[in-house]
Amino acid sequence: MATMANGNFPSADRPSPTAATTRGISSAGAHANDPTTGDAIGCGRRVISAHKRNKAPAGRRCAALRTPRRPPGPTGQRNKPSQPGNPPIIRPTRQRDEYSPAHIRTRPQRDPARHPSLPSPPAPSRPIPSSPIHLASFRRAAAMSWWWTGAIGAVKKRQDEQAAAAEPTYQSVALVVGSTGIVGTSLLDILPLADTPGGPWKVYALSRRPLPPWSPPAPSPAVTHLHLDLADAAAVAGALRPLTDITHVFYVAWTSRPTEAQNREANAAMLRNVLSVVVPNCPALVHVCLQTGRKHYVGPFEALGRVPFPDPPFTEDMPRLDCPNFYYDMEDILFDEVSRRDGAVSWSVHRPTTVFGYSPRSAMNLVGSLCVYAAICRKEGATLRWPGSRVSWEGFSDASDADLIAEHEIWAAVDPFAKNEAFNCSNGDLFKWKQLWPILADHFGVEWAGYEGEDNRFKLEEAMAGKEAVWAEIVRENELIATQLDEITNWWFVDAMFSVESELLDSMNKSKEHGFLGFRNTVNSFNTWIEKMKVFKIVP
């Protein structure tokens, strides 16, 4: 099968995504490439004389390249290389249960200490490809599919790697602005991994508030946390001006204000305060990632339903809407600031849809708010009722896994084919909330009810008013981390997401055409983030 022009391979040549999206935790071994040959290091390739290699049958030749070096036999001698004039010596390979060469990620195993309630993964069933062309594509695709290796459970892998690390040297230095947010949390999990492209990464993590009590117990030594208010221009300048080694900026912060006019003023000032310091003072700076979202296509919350927007699926080349939008202001600031470096600094804009992730304090943590709603229903013996519209219940929706967004942004930061472009970022599949609602109810052991007609619709913001004492009792009874109800929920945001009256869907074609083939199974993603909320004792 032929490769695409950018060096990536069609999805048919990729291994099964089951391991990357299994419910609960996913991680993978690191891989590296030999800088002279491009082959994966640690593959155990058998040496075959170059002038004889092509005489071996194609399928057996690939098998020989994959055969690991065997220990000495009974005579104490290892396999001898082929002699001139004789066919190469090729030993049969033993049957493998799964993709087990060191350069191919194996099925992750559950860590009982961190995920005691998760079932063991199913036994592998897919055989190793035998076609030589397919096998070659499979090997390259596996080595290039780095976005699968981040996934959930990156914290555990990072902790294992840092224990063996000794005085690392860093190839790239990231400034993550909004590091305790829903995507910033995933960036901090994935950037320090040994096999993250562009790495090893040193990370400056910038957030307004100190680390919450549910942060990982052993932060990576590669990460330095800075706490300041982005609205304070003097404080931002004082903190960032000494950081002259920054090479990449990941701006994933935002603030919510009552009106769009206030949103425009506040968010524009925050971004300008950061870029006006970093861009001129960091000579090694090469790229700035800016995260916005779907409101680029449908308008701000206060304009939903009043400003016409284009028919979905939304594509990146659609024009801006004729209405105020702080996303547009942030893009213009980005373009203006990077232009001051005369092309030395590239940019990318990332537009996720509804984000599924783990950040209990995030203003857009939909999964977390739903978990709290379900826990309160269980405590009160109430039914988990659907609060939204018929369209939201029965229509198709899409979502963006927070880890996938982080991987998408890292890809754009280091891949030359992704420079100076805007990209949608969603999981690549579709779902219906009528499919996820029973899953949510099952996690918390409650009865559920779907769409019950317009006359029975309600708003969670009103239904959950005055539940602070109920939540405090839930926290105490289940020995959860002490949190306030208004700290970890955002009911108006849930109401806004579930009140849409048309299907809103993105297209991921542009990302695929530029070389990003990452994806997530949304159902598995939904399960994963619920489990993580439970494991870290945020919800019962």
pLDDT in tens, 196-241: 999 999 999 999 988 888 776 666 789 999 999 999 999 999 999 9
CA count, 13 A, side-chain hemisphere, 82: 19
Query: Contact, 409 vs 291, CB < 8 A?
Result: yes
pLDDT above 80 for 410? yes
Question: Which superfamily does CATH assign the domain made up of 151-358+399-429 to?
Answer: NAD(P)-binding Rossmann-like Domain (3.40.50.720)
> What value does the mean pLDDT take over residues 37-56?
38
Q: Kindly write down the DSSP assignment for every residue of 132-162, as one continuous string.
A: HHHHHHHHHHHHH-THHHHSTTHHHHHHHHH
Tokens of 435: 């499919």
How far is the CA of 400 from the CAs of 111, 183, 424, in angstroms? 25, 10, 10
pLDDT range class, residue 157, cuts 50, 70, 90: low
Number of H helices, E strands in the chain: 21, 11
Amino acid at 50: A
pLDDT above 80 for 490? yes
pLDDT range class, residue 163, cuts 50, 70, 90: low
Active site residues: 295, 327
pLDDT above 70 for 107? no
Better pLDDT: 149 or 161: 161
pLDDT in tens, 500-532: 999 999 999 999 999 999 999 999 999 999 999
Each domain of the chain, given as residue ranges in start order, spans 1-68+96-105+125-145, 151-358+399-429
Tokens of 321: 């809407």
What gap in Å lies between CA 325 and CA 268, rounded to an integer? 11
> What value does the mean pLDDT take over residues 454-472?
97
The three state secondary structure string of 9-70 is CCHHHCCCCHHHHCCCCCCCCCCCECCCCCCECCCCCCCCCHHHHCCCCHHHHHHHHHCCCC
pLDDT above 70 for 187? yes
pLDDT above 60 for 398? yes
pLDDT of residue 52: 38
Tokens of 491: 């009911």
Runs of H (alpha helix) within 299-401: 326-339, 366-380, 390-394
Q: Looking at 49-58, 110-119, 366-375, 462-471, which range is the least confident one? A: 49-58
Specify the pairing of strand 421-425 against strand 223-227: unpaired
How far is the CA of 330 from the CAs of 205, 269, 325, 335, in angstroms? 20, 9, 9, 9
The percentage of residues in the chain with a pLDDT greater than 90, rounded to a whole number, is 63
pLDDT range class, residue 91, cuts 50, 70, 90: very low
pLDDT of residue 166: 56
**What mean pLDDT is reported for the chain?**
78
Query: Contact, 518 vs 411, CB < 8 A?
Result: yes
pLDDT above 90 for 251? yes
C-alpha closest to that of 189 among 27, 394, 368, 67:
27
Q: Looking at 11-20, 147-156, 458-467, which range is the least confident one? A: 11-20
Tokens of 129: 């490809």
133-138: long-range pairs with CB below 8 Å, 24+: 133/1, 134/1, 134/13, 135/59, 135/62, 136/62, 137/1, 137/3, 137/9, 137/10, 137/13, 138/13, 138/14, 138/15
Tokens of 410: 């890292």
pLDDT of residue 161: 56
> What value does the mean pLDDT take over residues 149-174?
62
C-alpha closest to that of 67 among 99, 84, 45:
45
Query: Contact, 237 vs 277, CB < 8 A?
Result: yes
pLDDT above 70 for 481? yes
pLDDT above 60 for 41? no
> What value does the mean pLDDT take over residues 326-330?
98
What gap in Å lies between CA 413 and CA 419, rounded to an integer? 7
Using DSSP, state whether 265 is helix, strand or coil.
helix
pLDDT of residue 362: 78
> What value does the mean pLDDT take over residues 411-430?
98
pLDDT of residue 47: 35
Give, as one character, the DSSP assignment of residue 103: T
pLDDT of residue 301: 85
Surface-to-core class of residue 112, CB atoms within 10 Å of its CB (0-12 exposed, 13-18 middle, 19+ buried):
exposed
pLDDT of residue 184: 95
pLDDT in tens, 335-370: 999 999 999 999 999 999 999 998 877 778 999 999
Q: Which residues contact 359 (CB under 8 A, 6 or more apart)?
A: 180, 181, 182, 184, 185, 365, 368, 402
C-alpha closest to that of 399 among 366, 441, 437, 372:
366
Better pLDDT: 162 or 287: 287
pLDDT range class, residue 115, cuts 50, 70, 90: very low
Better pLDDT: 139 or 309: 309
pLDDT in tens, 433-448: 999 999 999 999 999 9
What gap in Å lies between CA 209 and CA 186, rounded to an integer? 17
